[in-house]
C-alpha cells in the first residue's frame, strides 16, 4: 500500500486498541447522536476496558450517520464503532497523513497501531491509521498472499498464537475480523456466507460473561430487587477469579503475629511524618524481606510454556476495593522503598483506582499480592491467587488480646495472616516457612526496620 486513503463521503471508524492487551471494551455512554455534526478530536463515546474508562475521540470532522452499538454492549477491537457522512469540504481541507508501508502498519510491534494515546484526564488522540474508510484502507492490502486484516486483529492473532493466514475472513472483502480469530482459536471455522457474516456482526456487540456449564439447575427469579449483569471491572474480576481457581492449585496456611511492638513503632513513625500510617506498609516491608529469603514465592507461571518464572525484584500488588469492583495496582520495585514511601505509594494508587485515573501500566506486572481484608473487619481469609502469580497474603484486622510470654501475661495486639499458594509451584512446607519468616520480621521491629 503506497499510502493511506483520505476519508471520503462515507467513512467507518473502527474501535482502535485502547491499551496493550485490550481486545474489547464496554460502551458506557455515547457522547454523540445520529445526525450530529462533530469535529475532529471531539469525544464520541466513553468506553470501559478491564481497568480504565477511556474517552474515544473522533478522527474526522463530519456528520454521524450510524452508531454501531448500544450502551452496555461489549465491542471488540477492530469492529466498526461509528459511521460518518464526510462532507467534501472537510475531506478536502484535511491534511494528508504521512506515507507508510503496509508491512509497518500490520506488523510493527513498536508502532502505535491505532492506539488511543493519553489518559482519562488528558486529551486523547487517535493514530491517523484509523482515519480512513474501513472498506478501503483499514486492511492490509499487500497482495503477497497474506490475509486481509487490520493491525489490531493481527495483534490478537499473534497473542493467541494463531496463523492468521489459515483463517477465512467474514468481513468486507474477505477481511479477517477479531471474531474470526477468536472463533478459529477456539476450534471453529469461519463461515463466509452472508448470513454468517451478518450474524457475526450482530453478535459481536452482545455482552459476554464468564462461561458457565449448560446443565445448571433452574434459578428462582421471583422476588428479585435488581439484576446486575457482569460488566466492566466486575466482569473482568469474575473472569480472572474463574481462571485462577481452575488453573492454580490453591492451598492456604494461616498464622498470627504479635505486632504490639511494631504498632508502637507505627505510631512513632506517624508522629514524625505528621500523617496517618497504617500497619500495611510494615507488612509490605516484611513481605519484601521474606520474598528475598524465599524466592520460590516471588514468581509467576507461564502455563503456555510450562515454565516457572522467578523474578529478581518485587512488584507488589495491593488489592483495592472500589465502587467499580476490586482492582490490584502494583508497586514496582517495592523491595527498594522505605516504609514511608510504601505508605505514600499505597495511598496514591488507591486514589487512582477509586477515581479511575490510574495508568494501565500500574495495574500489570505483579509478582506477589497483598490483600488487606482487615480494613473491613475480617480476620482470617482464603484469598484467591492473582494468577499468574503463585502466592497472595491476606492481612486480617489487628486486635487486642491477652497474651502469654515467658510465664507472664499481658495485653498485646495480634495480626492474623492468611497465605494462599499455588501448590504446583510452592510446597506446603515452603509456604509455612515463608509465612513464619513474615511473622518473625513483624515481631522484631529492629530487624524489620534496620
- CA–CA separation, 292 and 279 (whole Å): 20
- Helical packing angle, 151-160 and 178-185, nearest 10°: 10
- Evaluated on CA atoms 422, 430, 299, 331, the torsion sign reads positive
Torsion angle of the four alpha carbons 94, 99, 100, 102, in this order, in degrees rounded to the nearest 10:
90
pLDDT tier at 40, thresholds 50, 70, 90: confident
Whether 143 is a known active-site residue: answer no
Which tens digits make up the pLDDT trace of 208-231?
Answer: 444 556 678 888 889 999 988 777
**pLDDT value at 425 more than 90:** yes
**Main-chain phi, psi angles of 344, to 5 degrees:** -65, -40
What average pLDDT does the segment 363-367 reach? Answer: 93
Which tens digits make up the pLDDT trace of 68-78?
Answer: 998 888 888 88
**pLDDT value at 6 more than 60:** no
Name the active-site residue from 41, 250, 324, 423: 423
What average pLDDT does the segment 417-435 reach? Answer: 97
- CA–CA separation, 303 and 300 (whole Å): 9
List all residues 6 or more positions away from 91 whose beta carbon is below 8 Å from its beta carbon.
Answer: 6, 7, 8, 9
Q: What percent of the chain has pLDDT over 70?
A: 73
Pairing of strands 24-30, 37-38: unpaired
pLDDT in the model for residue 444: 95
- Evaluated on CA atoms 213, 216, 221, 224, the torsion sign reads negative
Residue 30 pairs in a beta bridge with 45
pLDDT tier at 19, thresholds 50, 70, 90: low
Pairing of strands 24-30, 116-117: unpaired
pLDDT in the model for residue 436: 98
List all residues 6 or more positions away from 321 whose beta carbon is below 8 Å from its beta carbon.
Answer: 376
**pLDDT value at 314 more than 90:** yes
pLDDT in the model for residue 147: 65
Mean pLDDT of all residues in the chain?
78
Residue bearing the bigger pLDDT, 251 or 60: 251
pLDDT in the model for residue 238: 83
**pLDDT value at 5 more than 90:** no
Q: Determine how many CB atoms are found less than 10 A away from the CB of residue 330.
A: 22
pLDDT in the model for residue 169: 76
- Can you give the pTM of this predicted structure? 0.63
- CA–CA separation, 396 and 369 (whole Å): 14
Residue 370 pairs in a beta bridge with 318, 393
Of 417, 397, 413, nearest to 287 (Cα)? 417
Which tens digits make up the pLDDT trace of 149-170?
Answer: 766 677 778 878 888 888 877 6
Amino acid at each position: 500500500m503506497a499510502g493511506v486513503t483520505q476519508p471520503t463521503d462515507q467513512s467507518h471508524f473502527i474501535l482502535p486498541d485502547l491499551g496493550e492487551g485490550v481486545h474489547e471494551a464496554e460502551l458506557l455512554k455515547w457522547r454523540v447522536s445520529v445526525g450530529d455534526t462533530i469535529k475532529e478530536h471531539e469525544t464520541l463515546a466513553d468506553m470501559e476496558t478491564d481497568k480504565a474508562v477511556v474517552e474515544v475521540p473522533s478522527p474526522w470532522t463530519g456528520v454521524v450517520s450510524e452508531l454501531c452499538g448500544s450502551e452496555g454492549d461489549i465491542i471488540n477491537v477492530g469492529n466498526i464503532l461509528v459511521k460518518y457522512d464526510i462532507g467534501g469540504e472537510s475531506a478536502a481541507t484535511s491534511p494528508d497523513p504521512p506515507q507508510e508501508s503496509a508491512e509497518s502498519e500490520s506488523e510493527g510491534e513498536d508502532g502505535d497501531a491505532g492506539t488511543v494515546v493519553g489518559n482519562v484526564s488528558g486529551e486523547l488522540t487517535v493514530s491517523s491509521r484509523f482515519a480512513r474508510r474501513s472498506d478501503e484502507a483499514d486492511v492490509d492490502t499487500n497482495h503477497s498472499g497474506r490475509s486481509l486484516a487490520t493491525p489490531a486483529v493481527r495483534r490478537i492473532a499473534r497473542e493467541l498464537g494463531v496463523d492468521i493466514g489459515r483463517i477465512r475472513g467474514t468481513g468486507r472483502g474477505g477481511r479477517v475480523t477479531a471474531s474470526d480469530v477468536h472463533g478459529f482459536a477456539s476450534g471453529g471455522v469461519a463461515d463466509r456466507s452472508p448470513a454468517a457474516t451478518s450474524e457475526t456482526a450482530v453478535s459481536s456487540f452482545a455482552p459476554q460473561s464468564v462461561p458457565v456449564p449448560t446443565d445448571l439447575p433452574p434459578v428462582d427469579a421471583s422476588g428479585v430487587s435488581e439484576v446486575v449483569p457482569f460488566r466492566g471491572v466486575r466482569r473482568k474480576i469474575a473472569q480472572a477469579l474463574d481462571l485462577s481457581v481452575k488453573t492454580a492449585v490453591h492451598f492456604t496456611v494461616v498464622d498470627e503475629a504479635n505486632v504490639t511492638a511494631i504498632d508502637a513503632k507505627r505510631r512513632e513513625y506517624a508522629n514524625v511524618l505528621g500523617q496517618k500510617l497504617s500497619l500495611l506498609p510494615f507488612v509490605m516491608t516484611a513481605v519484601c524481606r521474606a520474598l528475598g529469603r524465599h524466592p520460590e514465592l516471588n514468581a509467576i507461571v507461564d502455563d503456555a510454556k510450562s515454565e516457572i518464572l522467578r523474578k529478581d525484584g518485587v512488584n507488589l500488588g495491593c488489592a483495592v476495593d472500589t465502587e467499580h469492583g476490586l482492582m490490584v495496582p502494583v508497586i514496582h520495585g517495592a523491595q527498594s522503598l522505605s516504609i514511608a514511601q510504601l505508605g505514600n505509594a499505597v495511598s496514591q494508587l488507591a486514589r487512582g483506582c477509586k477515581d479511575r485515573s490510574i495508568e494501565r501500566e500500574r495495574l500489570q506486572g505483579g509478582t506477589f499480592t497483598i490483600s488487606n481484608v482487615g480494613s473491613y473487619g475480617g480476620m482470617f481469609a482464603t484469598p484467591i491467587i492473582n494468577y499468574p502469580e503463585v502466592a497472595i497474603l491476606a492481612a486480617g484486622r489487628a486486635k487486642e488480646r491477652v497474651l502469654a510470654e515467658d510465664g507472664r501475661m499481658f495485653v498485646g495486639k495480634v495480626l492474623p495472616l492468611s497465605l494462599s499458594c499455588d501448590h504446583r509451584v510452592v510446597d506446603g512446607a515452603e509456604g509455612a516457612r515463608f509465612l513464619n519468616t513474615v511473622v518473625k520480621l513483624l515481631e522484631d521491629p529492629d530487624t524489620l526496620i534496620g
